[in-house]
């Protein structure tokens, strides 16, 4: 009997068992693994990261994330899928809730989404903002990109560097063909307080939201004040470039 290997696996188990389930999926060489569990112990994720770095067969999205969705084709996660619509905008986000707002805005603008990747806000994500950007930059169905960051960590700075060095300098038209808009939440967040249930924490030595926004702007990302502006601004940019 032929044994069929899965293309993807959704990890819907409690946090204390999630790392073991992820490890089993990696050992089975499942190409895409999505883990939505919150509060996986950091020590467990350090072990998962070590395993991920020793192989090239599997990609992990999450943990502590809504998942990944290609509207009309596939959904692995917990996002409210009815507001999603097949389209041309790719979204990569640390915040699940903010991504929902951006999705709603791009759907209302008639643009829809090609691929939405919720990478999660944990310190040790399987897929980073930069990883998600690289996927969307290469995706032929994605005409415009939305990158959504927040306080905590330095993932936004790395993402800005990817846009600056790998997109703007290497694209045939100087990086203007596939517009990128972005947002960084937590501008008014006080230091030394965890915001929400994710890894959004602004410590005394952490990079502020304003510094992250500045890095986005320097990379040529159009920074938005609110996720509700995503659809309107992206539609204008796509029309100016003759992409829609």
Q: What is the pLDDT of residue 203?
A: 67
Mean pLDDT of the region 46-69: 96
pLDDT band at 123 (very low <50, low <70, confident <90, very high): confident
Q: How far apart are CA 114 and CA 194, in angstroms?
A: 32
The neighbour count for residue 173, using CB atoms within 10 Å, is 8
Residues forming CATH 3.40.50.720 domain(s) in the chain: 1-61
Q: What is the pLDDT of residue 204?
A: 65
pLDDT band at 46 (very low <50, low <70, confident <90, very high): very high
Enclosing H/E stretch for 74: strand 74-77
Q: How far apart are CA 43 and CA 49, in angstroms?
A: 10
Mean pLDDT of the region 147-151: 94
| φ, ψ dihedrals at 125, nearest 5° | -75, 150
pLDDT over threshold 80, residue 160 = yes
Instruction: Quote the DSSP letter at residue 194.
Output: B
User: Mutual orientation of helices 129-138 and 155-162 as an angle, nearest 10°?
Assistant: 30
Residue-wise DSSP of 125-159:
-SS-HHHHHHHHHH-TT-SEEEEEEESSSSHHHHH
pLDDT over threshold 90, residue 117 = yes
Class of domain 64-240: alpha beta
**Beta partners for 34?**
10, 61
pLDDT over threshold 90, residue 192 = no
Told to judge if 167 belongs to the known catalytic residues of this protein, a careful annotator would answer no
Alpha carbon of residue 200 to chain centroid:
15
pTM given for the model? 0.93
Catalytic hit among 39, 43, 167, 197: 197
Class of domain 1-61: alpha beta
pLDDT over threshold 60, residue 198 = no
Residue range 208-243, pLDDT digits in tens: 889 999 999 999 999 999 999 999 999 999 999 999
Q: How far apart are CA 77 and CA 35, in angstroms?
A: 8
Residues forming CATH 3.40.50.261 domain(s) in the chain: 64-240
């Amino acid at each position: 009997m032929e044994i069929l290997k899965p293309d993807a696996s959704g990890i819907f188990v409690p946090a204390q068992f999630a790392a073991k389930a992820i490890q089993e999926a990696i050992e089975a060489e499942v190409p895409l693994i999505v883990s939505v569990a919150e509060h996986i112990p950091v020590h467990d994720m350090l072990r998962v990261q070590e395993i991920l770095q020793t192989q090239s067969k599997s990609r992990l999205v999450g943990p502590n994330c809504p998942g990944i969705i290609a509207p009309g084709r596939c959904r692995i996660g917990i996002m409210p899928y009815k507001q999603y619509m097949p389209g041309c905008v790719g979204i990569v986000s640390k915040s699940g809730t903010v991504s929902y707002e951006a999705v709603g805005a791009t759907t209302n603008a008639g643009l829809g989404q090609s691929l939405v990747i919720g990478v999660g806000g944990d310190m040790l994500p399987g897929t980073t903002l930069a990883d998600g950007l690289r996927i969307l930059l290469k995706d032929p169905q994605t005409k415009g990109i939305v990158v959504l960051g927040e306080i905590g960590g330095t993932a936004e700075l790395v993402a800005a560097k990817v846009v600056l060095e790998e997109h703007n300098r290497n694209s045939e038209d100087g990086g203007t063909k596939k517009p990128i808009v972005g947002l960084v939440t937590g501008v008014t967040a006080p230091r030394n307080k965890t915001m929400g249930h994710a890894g959004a924490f602004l410590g005394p030595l952490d990079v502020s939201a304003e510094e992250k926004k500045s890095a986005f702007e320097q990379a040529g990302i159009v920074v938005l004040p609110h996720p509700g502006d995503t659809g309107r601004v992206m539609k204008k940019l796509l029309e100016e470039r003759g992409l829609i």
